[in-house]
Chains A and B, each alone.
Chain A
């Protein structure tokens, strides 16, 4: 297939550009890093991220907390859309549910950490129930129905004003740091979000690899074949829908910790579109992509706020179109392509699935590997 592409590109500058563009559209397998490098990178990033809030301004901590919240949402949504192939435009509804469950419960006197498991259960169940009819729908239909969910969310919140205080919203004073920590509120909340995103990262990695991960991708790539292999695709799809809703619910709870306010208009269509552009820009079916995408949707509204209130939505829309056409594997796909030559040369014991860790393959050098890659 790639041979065809290469020859049809022709000569000349235009051909070269087309070739480069075509390369951007190629899928990339996950990086094959040695285990020590993987663990070291994770610890280094986590360590730096943990120390960072002590040295930066409160507004930076606020922004970075939002990045981590969106990253959690992105990971959940990526399990659903990236790995399992179900498109949801309605995850803002689960985010709102998580946020409102937290806000209402905290207002009722619950401890702010105690609402977290409650919100997880509520959004999980809600996601599961919504996942059932979603089984009957595919692709565009599912996108439309979930889009309706996103549209209806703000009005639903306003209707339920006994709980939600309607248009007025709920103001809270919550997530105060324990005294022994000596931390400011912004730092404390940042660290809570960091714990959340690290747990989400590990969980997502476990669910997107191994037997379960393969069953998700199998259902996405070819559902009929997956079923002949014994994958109960309906169950798999509803479970993933529920799990991704729960991730998003956690994001909603953490959002309450950070913002200390919930109002219906925060959870509208723009948020739904932001979530989708998050995973597309970051990279569908990747974990790191959720982090890249989270930076994107956190900072785009800040950059565009000076131009126009609606400009953020336009940037989301445009970036969706551009990325889908030019770079369907997003920033994470680009990062994989760029880092692979380096990572492949790092020595060390690799994971189970690694080509270089294969016990049955002896003496395969990195040079041979590259030759094959170019040749295939």
Chain B
């Protein structure tokens, strides 16, 4: 809060989170955080364990229903949508502990990301209509391009179960991109990666954001990565927002140092 971020200037907020409350039994998971994400920017969402980052992710992707508050994406009220509708609303996400389909190959996993954009239903598929084949051919080409872009071509026909963790993280990213999202939500993408991979990933995210005009919401514990890649950093603690601003400003914010780094830094 110390320094307002006005880099984008005129543009309206793309994702807008307002005063979201969520309580599980007696535990307050979210205690009214509010922040905006501007189009085309990367917002790092950080905080100690239990701060409510993933809970907030789950509210945005409609896995949880907040008790009160509002979340809008480009003016659309997300809280009025069901989980099945978020992909069409322009949101794709990854999961902290991987949400891949283990019995599918890498290529099939990525293809699954295109589900909401494609139309082949039970009837046309069963009849084997030409449009089904045409659509599939287009999708496969797009998926292969993505896999090549992320350096995954060599594993494209391997079953996802059994591949190294770092590879699977990239597969999940590819699947999210396959949905052609406008808002990409990454839940600890650097988790389990070695140092070089983290730097590479940060570069990839930045590049994707610029190339595709993506807005990114990023939950991550790897501080160096968050600080280097983000345009804006939001800090949560115990379900509450304690700081919001440019990375350098947030880094030196005493409240953040106190809560997040336990005063050690």
Interface, chain A (partner B; CB < 8 A)? 1-2, 27, 29, 32, 202-203, 206-207, 210-212, 214-215, 217-218, 220-222, 224-233, 239, 243, 285, 352-356, 358-361, 364, 372, 376
Bin chain B's interface residue count.
35 or more
**What is the CA–CA distance of A144 and B53 in the complex, to the nearest angstrom?**
39
Chain A residues near B92 (CB-CB < 8 A)? 228-229
- Closest CB of chain A to B84's CB: distance in Å? 5
B204 near A: Cβ within 8 Å?
Answer: no
Task: Point out the residue from B104, B128, B135, B136 that lies within 8 Å of A217, measured CB to CB.
Answer: B104
Write out, one digit per residue, whether chain B residues 147-180 have a CB within 8 A of any chain A CB (1) or not (0).
Answer: 1100001101111011100000000000100010
Tell me whether A221 and B102 are in contact (CB under 8 A). yes
Tell me whether A243 and B122 are in contact (CB under 8 A). yes
Q: A206-B126, A360-B145, A361-B156 known; A228 and B86 CB under 8 Å? A: yes
Tell me whether A353 and B103 are in contact (CB under 8 A). no
Closest to A364 in B: B154
Tell me whether B83 and A227 are in contact (CB under 8 A). yes
B116 near A: Cβ within 8 Å?
Answer: yes
Chain A residues near B148 (CB-CB < 8 A)? 360
**What is the CA–CA distance of A231 and B111 in the complex, to the nearest angstrom?**
13
Closest to B101 in A: A221
Task: Point out the residue from B87, B104, B121 that lies within 8 Å of A214, measured CB to CB.
Answer: B104
Tell me whether A203 and B104 are in contact (CB under 8 A). no
Tell me whether B136 and A376 are in contact (CB under 8 A). no
Q: A211-B125, A228-B63, A239-B122 known; A217 and B86 CB under 8 Å? A: no
Task: Point out the residue from B104, B127, B136 that lies within 8 Å of A210, measured CB to CB.
Answer: B136
Chain A residues near B99 (CB-CB < 8 A)? 222, 224-225, 228
Tell me whether B101 and A215 are in contact (CB under 8 A). no
Q: A233-B84, A360-B144, A376-B158 known; A211 and B118 CB under 8 Å? A: yes
Closest to A361 in B: B153
Tell me whether B153 and A32 are in contact (CB under 8 A). no
CB-contacts of B43-90 with A (<8 A):
61-63, 83-88
Task: Point out the residue from B115, B120, B128 that lies within 8 Å of A229, measured CB to CB.
Answer: B115
**What is the CA–CA distance of A359 and B145 in the complex, to the nearest angstrom?**
10
Write out, one digit per residue, whether chain B residues 95-116 have a CB within 8 A of any chain A CB (1) or not (0).
Answer: 1000111111101100111111
A-B contact pairs, 18 of them (CB 8 A): A202-B128, A210-B125, A211-B139, A212-B122, A221-B103, A221-B104, A224-B83, A225-B100, A227-B83, A228-B63, A228-B99, A229-B112, A229-B116, A230-B84, A233-B84, A239-B122, A353-B107, A355-B156
